Amino acid sequence: MIKLIHEHRSVTEAARLLGVTQSSVSHSLDRLRNMLGDPLFLKVGRAMVPTERVETMMGDIDSVLKGIEALYSQSVFDPQNSSDRFSIVCNDYEHDLLVPAIFERLKQEAPHCSLKTYQLNMAIRNPLEKGFTDLELCPSAPQDSTDLVVSKLCGDRMLTYYDPTVRDAPENLADFCSAEHAILSWDTNENTSVDKALAELGRSRNVSYLGPNFSSVAMVVRGTNMLATAPSRLADSIFRGLAWVNTPLELAPSEFFMVWHIRNRHSPRHKWFRELIKTVARDLPQTSEACQKALMRIKEENEAKLEADAKAKPQSPRSSSDAFA
């Protein structure tokens, strides 16, 4: 602030360049005057003229600012020459959806860096607060912590999966509710978004299996008559080989988030890694490739059915005027 007032002879211009209000600079200047026992700048016409004390301080001020700039330049993260290890704690859904692409991008931009991932439900509690991992990818944002920063990455639509070699797709909500279900429950909360939506309709479902991750749910569904409701992008990975159908009730899109500790907010290394993950998430397709193909096939089948129905529909008899013509 002193340097800018000295250079421009103006409190107003110093405030503009600092991006603060003029009164803020004036108050700071008053505090410095009291601390140093010197008026520092005197109003002469429209200009702020520095005192002798300021003139003698300017060399030291320049040295201090250059030192701060040198400290900052040393903290800039250079991915090409870094050999850091980054770490993520996540569930199998977030892992399969994002981690392969994150690792691929990491090796492209930071070829000497490595990546380690941990299970979300591992024994170590509060891994972010303890500095055990860089960040967390999770399906729900923490609500009760002032030390964590949350950023939404993307969302997904929910589908109901089943084994077509054992059963047919549920035809309606009653069929859906009467079937046996496998669900994800990696903590003590067993009331999922599906159960909440059913409760609003005065319905419930028959939950027979509760697994710690989507992989366990998919394994149990295979070869059984059970249903599993899960994000669409898993059709290409964990639920590959199973058939799916649109869930016969209105469900909000699933979401997942990136969470990190506030201590890393301004870390150049951490900021670079967060931006890499955001870029990977932005490049994700709206739904899985398997779902895109299936939805296109369903659309084509519906269009073909409408066309066939139109051809089979009997033509209305012509009016007498048409016949005369």
Residue 33: strand, helix, or coil: helix
pTM value is 0.58
Question: pLDDT tens digits for 265-293?
Answer: 888 899 999 999 999 988 876 555 555 66
Q: How far apart are CA 261 and CA 145, in angstroms?
A: 10
Question: pLDDT tens digits for 147-192?
Answer: 888 888 887 888 999 999 999 999 999 999 999 999 987 666 778 8
Question: pLDDT tens digits for 232-241?
Answer: 888 888 898 8
DSSP states of 192-233: -HHHHHHHHTT---EEEEEESSHHHHHHHHTTSS-BEEEEGG
Q: How far apart are CA 92 and CA 232, in angstroms?
A: 14
Residue 27: band (very low, low, confident or very high) from pLDDT cuts 50, 70, 90: very high
Angstrom CA distances, 79 to 44, 75, 133, stand at: 51, 12, 19
Comparing 78-82, 144-148, 222-226, 259-263, the range with the smallest average pLDDT is: 144-148
Phi–psi pair at 103, nearest 5 degrees: -65, -40
Here the tokens at position 247 are 């869930």
Comparing 98-102, 185-189, 192-196, 204-208, the range with the smallest average pLDDT is: 185-189
In angstroms, what is the C-alpha Rg of the chain? 31
Residues 6+ apart with CB under 8 A from 166: 223, 224, 225
